[in-house]
Structure 1
Amino acid sequence: MSRFIVRVPCRHAGRRLPSKLALAWVLGMAALGGGPASADPAAPALSYAEALELARQGAPALRAQQATLAGSTALVPAAAALPDPRLSVGVENLPIAGPDRWRTTRDTGTMQRIALMQEMPNRARRDAREQAAQARSERDRAMLVAAELAVRRDAGLAWLAVHYAEARLAQVAGFQRENRLLQDTLPARIAGGSALPAELTMARQEALAIADRADELARDLRKARAELRRWIGARADAPLQGEPPTRRVDGDALRASLPQHAELAPYAPMRAMAQAEAAEADAEQRGDWAWEVAYSRRPRYDDMVSFQLRFDLPWQRERRQQPQIAAKRRELERLEAERDDLLRRHAAETDAMLAELQALDAQAERLRGAGQPLAAERVTLATAAYQAGRGDLSAVLAARSQVLETQLRSIDLDAQRAALSLRLSTLIAE
């Protein structure tokens, strides 16, 4: 933080400074760092890296996506398995009238039968089901990576918001202390005739404006802490440690890697899923088959064993299987078009963010190279004019307010640049 101090020579320690020189010295003091404590000072400090790790470990969205991935992965071995066999037990040709009704051992035509049947889907269908299950697992894995990236991004943005909110509040707190010091010295000078009563009124008006700004910034800090608490829980109340990470964004490399955007990654396995479903629909044209083995007992006759095969007979394919195949192919076209649209949208958003970042970098450089020195010079000139009796207190207060606005503007630019750099660096999964 820049400091604007008017040094007044004093040869004797006990000698009083001239009234206007003393007042100018008070007005020229820089705002000291530090602000109202909003964090728990007893808690261990929270670094940027620790906040991201805590968010990754505790995010409910990640746990949900991990459960989804575990479930789809567990289904892969079962996808190509044969259906469960069927066991049937029964009685055939049981009399329901006459002297032997409801008896299973009197009539020679009555059979006690037990049979085992196994359906056999054709190999192409089973392979397609296995491929679809594997693709579904890969899709869920890609969605988990995208979710982790989103959690890192949002937790990082929350940490940055707290960091820069504290920096803004510290600037305003320094000006509040300076204003209180000014108000403490003015009454004595007014009583001695070296200051006007209107100067105290101006100082009090400035104090009200600074208090309003401090309340707004304290509100913003509480909101930022609440957002950080969403991601990392109670550790969000700890004081922050360290500075935000410095990121260099290579626009050309980022544009070239946009096809690997985290939100586009699930489309490759989704396309594989659609292809497998189309292959399964095509496999229905071949039909499935089944076998059955049965054991039968009849009164006063030898036991018997039966064996039979069953075959599906796909017919009217143009009304059943072929429409399903056509629908699956249209699904492939939809996925391709949807992916292309999403890629174009991300490309446009990336170009917009890169342009915004370039403008913010230029503004920040201009503010530090010219804006802040000019604001410091204005304070120096206004203070010198006030000391010489050619200016009034209002000009000095206005110059100080401009310094505060310039410093807050610098923090705002840094906050926007850090947030944009973080967003751009979390587009592509590592």
Structure 2
Amino acid sequence: MPCSVHPIGRRLSRTLIASVCPLAVALPLWASPLSFEQALSLSTQEAPTLVASQARVDSARAAAIPAGELPDPKLAVGVENFPIAGPDRYSLTGDFMTMQRIAYMQDIPNRSKRDARVAVAQARVQQAESAQQLSKLSLRRETAVAWIRRYTLEQQISLFDGLFKQNKLLASAVQAQLAGGRGSIADVLMPRQEAAMLSERQDELRAQRAQAIAALQRWIGAAAGEALEGAPPNWPLDREALAHQIQDHPDVNLLSSSSRVLDAELQEAQAAKKSDWGVELAYQRRGEQFGDMVSVKVTFDLPTAPAKRQDPQIAAKQLELLGLDAELELLRREHLQELDTQWAELERLNLALDRNQTILQPLMRDKVALTLAAYQSGKGTLLEHLAARRESLETQLRFLTLQGERQAISARLHFTNDASLAGGSQ
């Protein structure tokens, strides 16, 4: 016997479906945590900078297709020796010299010039590709630094949960001191004052975190707001290897490709001293009483004044190349200086981190414990203990700041050449 559904039940079902479906559409199916590697991957997907650089590469490749082709031929149509006086004036067929003419003409640049034009086009493709590699490298480097900045701030913010718990324990300890007849009535306010100061510092870090998310969003879009997952990689860095990689830095490759463009343009300027030539094939039609005619003509360019035309252009390209070679050497030196500067800073950060972790933090922990014991025994003040707690907090925050700075410099050193682009974070 088939079962039936009461009309009220059907209306209730439709109401529930209607209320739930919009929520199902509005809410994402899942939110993916944002790891360091995922951020790097997102930075090179549909980035406006890469779309623009890819368009320039495609444009250069398209322009290279006709580089070595001959110029378009020409078609000439006209009348030669048309009489305007005498018995045959205004006649196309009366005079034997009058001809209706159609000609096909083809200019043919010399082989060296065409080869040089091909070389120029290919060098410009390489130049656009070098610029694209530089854009990719910059995107990945800046994304890495922005992710690390946000990660560092979240590590600092996470300290405050434990600090607020300690603050509550301190408030209880102060009450116990007062109940035992020790301490000052003003001590009751000090834990509350410390809690307010902690909240203010936490708010500052949260504001900086929001700014870090905005900076990361510039490179990867809306995914910058997702929860972070994992930690930054620990790259093995070698100063000598990094110095050697400067030769392949995208900045250097881009300037080198510009040098190749100039070198090809120099070859084209030198080829202009050689003659171009052309061929013309013409058909001439005369009156019926006269025979039609065919003409073949070959033309040659005569570079008779190279000192005023070709040689100055050649000299200009040679001087441009000389200047570009100097710029290339200057760029290599600038990158080497930057490497040495960052390497020195990295070594300083390593020493500061080791000092903070092995000396300062243990000292601060001991100082907090000693001042608390002194306060509880009536030999010290609560103010001294709170000062020690603030110093301890600053030491811990400083450690995380130094750690973030070291990771950021490591990222900048790691993303210095094209090898980084192929293998992700490696």
Which residue does 2:68 correspond to in 1? 80
Cα distance per residue 1:196-234 (max 9 Å; x no partner): 331133223323322221222111101100011111111
Which residue does 1:33 correspond to in 2? none
1:294-305 matched pairs, under 5 angstroms: 294-300=282-288, 301-305=290-294
Aligned-pair RMSD on alpha carbons?
A: 2.4
Task: Choose 215-224 or 181-190, whichever is displaced more.
Answer: 181-190
Match of 2:57 among 69, 72, 97: 69
Change (3 A) 1:212 1:98: farther
1:58 aligns with 2:46: yes
What is the letter of the counterpart of residue 235 of structure 1?
A
Which residue does 2:9 correspond to in 1? none
Which residue does 1:415 correspond to in 2? 404
Change (3 A) 1:122 1:180: same
Which residue does 2:304 correspond to in 1? 315
CA distance in 2, matches of 1:389, 1:309: 114
CA distance in 1, matches of 2:265, 2:215: 42
Q: Which runs of 5+ in 1 are unaligned?
A: 1-39
What is the letter of the counterpart of residue 225 of structure 1?
I
Change (3 A) 1:114 1:390: same
CA distance in 2, matches of 1:181, 1:198: 17
Change (3 A) 1:99 1:46: farther
What is the letter of the counterpart of residue 324 of structure 1?
Q
Q: Is the contact made by 1:172 and 1:213 (CA closer than 8 Å) also made in structure 2? A: no
1:339 aligns with 2:328: yes
Which residue does 2:106 correspond to in 1? 118
CA distance in 1, matches of 2:195, 2:91: 106
1:264 aligns with 2:262: no
Change (3 A) 1:387 1:181: closer
Which residue does 1:217 correspond to in 2? 205
Shift in Å at residue 304 of structure 1?
1.8
Shift in Å at residue 99 of structure 1?
9.0
Shift in Å at residue 362 of structure 1?
0.7
Which residue does 2:141 correspond to in 1? 153
Change (3 A) 1:177 1:99: farther
CA distance in 2, matches of 1:332, 1:232: 39
Shift in Å at residue 239 of structure 1?
0.1
Question: How high is the TM-score relative to the length of structure 1?
Answer: 0.85
CA distance in 1, matches of 2:94, 2:404: 94
Q: Percent identity?
A: 42
CA distance in 2, matches of 1:181, 1:94: 116
Which residue does 2:77 correspond to in 1? 89
Q: Is the contact made by 2:360 and 2:395 (CA closer than 8 Å) also made in structure 1? A: yes
1:23-38 matched pairs, under 5 angstroms: none
Q: Is the contact made by 2:183 and 2:378 (CA closer than 8 Å) also made in structure 1? A: no
Which residue does 2:7 correspond to in 1? none
Match of 1:273 among 261, 265, 270: 261
What is the letter of the counterpart of residue 428 of structure 1?
N
Cα distance per residue 1:313-362 (max 9 Å; x no partner): 11111111111111111011011000011111111111010000001001
Q: Secondary structure at the match of 2:65?
A: helix
Which residue does 1:289 correspond to in 2? 277
CA distance in 2, matches of 1:91, 1:174: 100
Which residue does 2:384 correspond to in 1? 395
Q: Secondary structure at the match of 1:79?
A: coil
What is the letter of the counterpart of residue 387 of structure 2?
A
Q: Which runs of 5+ in 2 are unaligned?
A: 1-27, 420-426
Task: Choose 349-358 or 245-254, whichever is displaced more.
Answer: 245-254
Change (3 A) 1:84 1:394: same
Q: Is the contact made by 2:182 and 2:378 (CA closer than 8 Å) also made in structure 1? A: no
Which residue does 2:364 correspond to in 1? 375
Cα distance per residue 1:112-137 (max 9 Å; x no partner): 22111111100111111111111111
CA distance in 2, matches of 1:138, 1:90: 46
CA distance in 2, matches of 1:176, 1:113: 100
Change (3 A) 1:176 1:114: farther
CA distance in 1, matches of 2:188, 2:284: 113
Cα distance per residue 1:41-100 (max 9 Å; x no partner): 962101100100010112211111111112212222311111111112223344567897
CA distance in 2, matches of 1:285, 1:422: 52
1:179-194 matched pairs, under 5 angstroms: 179=167, 182=170
Q: Is the contact made by 2:256 and 2:328 (CA closer than 8 Å) also made in structure 1? A: no
Change (3 A) 1:102 1:162: farther
Q: Secondary structure at the match of 1:264?
A: helix
Question: How high is the TM-score relative to the length of structure 2?
Answer: 0.85
Q: Secondary structure at the match of 2:237?
A: coil
Which residue does 1:429 correspond to in 2? 418
What is the letter of the counterpart of residue 252 of structure 2?
L
Which residue does 2:22 correspond to in 1? none
CA distance in 1, matches of 2:100, 2:121: 42
Match of 2:232 among 228, 244, 254: 244
1:202 aligns with 2:190: yes
CA distance in 2, matches of 1:354, 1:53: 27
Q: Is the contact made by 1:41 and 1:239 (CA closer than 8 Å) also made in structure 2? A: no
Which residue does 1:35 correspond to in 2? none
Q: Secondary structure at the match of 2:107?
A: strand
